[in-house]
Amino acid sequence: MRKKRRIQWTGAIIFILMLGLLMRLAEIQLFFTESFSKLDINLIQESVKQRTEEVVISDGRGEFLDRNGQALLTKEQPAVILFPFLQYDLPRLQQTASILEMEEDELKKQLTETKKPLILKDDITKKKLKDINDMKYSGVYGVYMKEKDKKRLALHTLGFTSENPELLRKRYPDKKELSIRTEIGTFGLESTFDEFLLPEQDTKLLYHVDGRGNPLFGMDVKYTAEAHSFYPLQVQTTIDEDMQAEMEKVLKEQGVEKGGAVLLDIESSSVLAMASTPNVTSKNRHEARNYMLTAIAPGSVFKTAVLAAAIEKNLDQPQTMYDCRKNLYGEPEGKQAVLNLTDSFSESCNYTFATLAERLIQTDDQIIEKTAAKLGLLDRAGWEGDVYHKQHFKQFDREETGSVWGDKRDKHVKKAIAQTAIGQKNVKTTPLQIANMMATIARGGERKEVKIAEKVLYQNGTTMLSFQNKRPEGGSIDRYTAQKLQKFLRQVVTSDKGTGRRFQDLPYDVAGKSGTAQTGSQDKKGNPLYHKWFAGYFPVEKPKYALVVVHLDETSGRAKTNDAFYDIVKKVNEIEKKQT
């Protein structure tokens, strides 16, 4: 009796398992062949791909262009594609080897050793491509393959793509036609402009094979390509490829291991070059961070905002003297002398600005953050607005906002006020915000949002949409304040004791401000680490460029901020001469 029950239970379990297996097979082969699992996988398409050999000539994704219309991420590489079955057609094999100037045996050997299409790129000329295509043989093609440039520029800014099926379906729930293998933008402009750059169709050569890799339907190779003249789209950025390349080169040569630089066109407040270090690799992509969009302590660069507030409150009297022999907290230190406001700014006297900040708060306890906001140091600096059918579109990916006070009670604490006055405590700004502040001052007080994309173009070159220059909401400093700030910033460079005197012999007249912020951390040897800045604009008489360089987490003696700033300005001058 017990044996009979065990047999019955065993049979029932086997029946249930078989039923479950049959139901699973039915799901796969009958019911959900085009939308399997939560990722909506098209099983029919995927099964065909398993029996298909293909060579992707272009993945169909849109492209980023520099301001002159040159591709920034990819390059076209001449190549000859040979399908393995060419080895069986001896006359064609011999003709192909002759055109490619190869030994017939060597070419046949390479074809024999591979089951996949053979791609040859070395020494491929336009004439060889023409002669190959004149053969009109389905197993041999001469093409220009679109490949990612191995020496890519502006990697932190332009960003990168990756396969992420879950994010793909979440971001584009209505685009069921997209394969789960479609790469999408996950960082930088690749992410913010992803919807515009998604591929409509790739360009490729393909043929079907059996389990051994032999042609399944004869030697028929198909060419598939997007026939639409409007797609893929192209995003024309404001980046100058030459300036971007030189900026990255300077940062590397000067040893700026963590930090970066950003260069703006003052008239349009657009990014000409932006670089962040350390560089992004395949191993550290998950840690990628663009420091030019990261809010960090600006140090004495923030004194520019305190000075602007003092000018607007008429506290910039030239006869007022400050005892700069005292430190930030009014204690004797003896490093400097008794200075007026102009010299205090050019020599970056902490005591002067701690004193000014305290007086300002006594007149208006919101004056410092109000002025910082007028200079664009609190809100995001990048272009934002409604575009196409997207609301609140942001050009910059993961751009942070700035801050002045962490706790309003700090406004009543003398030491907290002093630390805030010199850009520490809870003061945080991004290098992009600082660059835009310098551009605002150079323009006479007019604020603008920073652009890095000028327009989106159809494939045929016509414009789909343009990003117009925008003024952000909120007030701005008046022209009188801006003009006085210009004089103070210029004095930083022209003064024999100014912190920017290094730049006196540059081909452009420079105005700007240095900054050093303590991080509270130390290196392995116990040396304190600092964020070192220099921010400015040039030429002074007719301002054209705003530049910020920052070197993060370095000891005071090792920071290469001024050296990098100096070299970048020289490179900009050289490039400008070549381009005019």
Token couple for 112: 């024999």
How buried is 102 (Cβ within 10 angstroms: 0-12 exposed, 13-18 middle, 19+ buried)? middle
- Lowest-pLDDT range of 130-134, 241-245, 283-287, 522-526: 283-287
pLDDT at 200 > cutoff 60: yes
Is the pLDDT reported for residue 478 higher than 90? Answer: yes
Band of residue 87 on the pLDDT scale cut at 50, 70, 90: confident
CB count within 10 Å of CB 194 equals: 22
Is 455 in contact with 469 (CB distance < 8 Å)? no
Residue 409 pLDDT exceeds 90: yes
Asked whether the predicted pLDDT for residue 414 surpasses 90, the reply is: yes
Longest dimension (CA), the chain: 113
pLDDT tens for each residue of 151-189: 789 999 999 999 999 999 999 998 888 888 889 999 999
Q: What is the Cα–Cα distance from 33 to 44, expressed in whole angstroms?
A: 6
Residue pair 199/61 in contact (Cβ under 8 Å)? The answer is yes
Q: Residue 223 has what pLDDT?
A: 60
Q: What is the percent of the chain where pLDDT is above 70?
A: 89
Torsion of CA 566, 569, 573, 578, to 10 degrees: 110
Catalytic annotation, residues: 300
- Confidence bin at 390 (pLDDT 50/70/90): confident
In this prediction the pTM is 0.87
Sign of the torsion angle spanned by Cα atoms 494, 499, 504, 510: negative
Q: What is the mean pLDDT of residues 33-42?
A: 52
Region of poorest pLDDT, from 30-39, 218-227, 399-408, 452-461: 30-39
277-306: per-residue pLDDT in tens?
998 876 777 778 999 999 999 999 999 999
- The pLDDT value recorded for residue 46 is 46
Rounded to whole angstroms, how far apart are CA atoms 67 and 243? 11
d(CA 304, CA 345): 8
At the top level of CATH, which class does the domain 241-278+291-579 belong to? alpha beta
pLDDT at 43: 45
Rounded Cα distance between 424 and 329, Å, is 14
**Dist. CA 164–CA 185, nearest whole Å:** 9
CB 251 within 8 A of CB 260: yes
Check residue 47 and give its pLDDT. 46
Question: Does the pLDDT of residue 48 top 50, yes or no?
Answer: no
DSSP letter, residue 400: P
DSSP state of 58: E
pLDDT for 159 equals: 94
Look over the chain and give the mean of its residue pLDDT values, rounded to a whole number.
Answer: 89
pLDDT value of position 3? 65
- Which helix (DSSP H) or strand (DSSP E) does residue 548 occupy? strand 545-554
Residue 383 backbone phi and psi in degrees, to 5? -65, 130
- Residue spans of the domains in the chain: they are 241-278+291-579
